[in-house]
Structure 1
């Protein structure tokens, strides 16, 4: 077990502030038809939205167990949400894209 670096600590905090859904909420969302084209298919081996699945896995991890790949996924999620936070068209499609990585913009 390695000690997280200060950069990893900051990223961990930012990731957990941006991802405001639980792993179960994200998983359920991805399994519903309401999540649109990115919904999980009946056959879980095909077409899974990788970033959303990785977020579910990350939320179930301890900070001490993070890998380099995990920190890269956290960075991608933070950038993805920040890039779309002030999108001019904040419609259902916009919300679904954010929820696919664990950020519900309507959640307080």
Structure 2
């Protein structure tokens, strides 16, 4: 994928809304999917979108694919549409927070 000003802006927006590190997201996805009887393989933990975000966090901008760009746009749109900076931070235990964390955004992080 060719680097462009639009891609640069999307890259910045993506890393602004995805405020968890790859290690934090990986740990969250594993914890979220841990069960009493079974757990998925580590590279399969969490929802597919969360796994895609994790893969993007581990890439350089020059290594992005068209699918990565689509996922980044979707995540930026989802997080921007679900966050309200006037109401953050909020309580730690909410389904909204957990859903956002599954795509790399922790509303309680600065």
- The answer as to 2:108 corresponding to 1:106 is yes
Aligned pair count reads: 100
* TM-score, structure 1 as length reference: 0.82
What's the TM-score, normalizing by structure 2? 0.80
Shift of 1:43: 2.6
Which residue does 2:78 correspond to in 1?
80
Cα 1:47–1:24 change in 2 (3 A) is closer
1:8 matched to 2:11? The reply is no
RMSD across aligned positions (CA): 2.2
Q: Where do 5+ consecutive residues of structure 2 fail to align?
A: none
What residue ranges of structure 1 are gaps of 5+ in the alignment?
A: none
1:50 is matched with 48
Give structure 1 regions of 4+ aligned residues with deviation exceeding 2 angstroms. Answer: 43-48
Q: CA deviation at 1:56?
A: 0.6
Instruction: Check conservation: 1:40, 1:48, Cα contact below 8 A.
Output: no
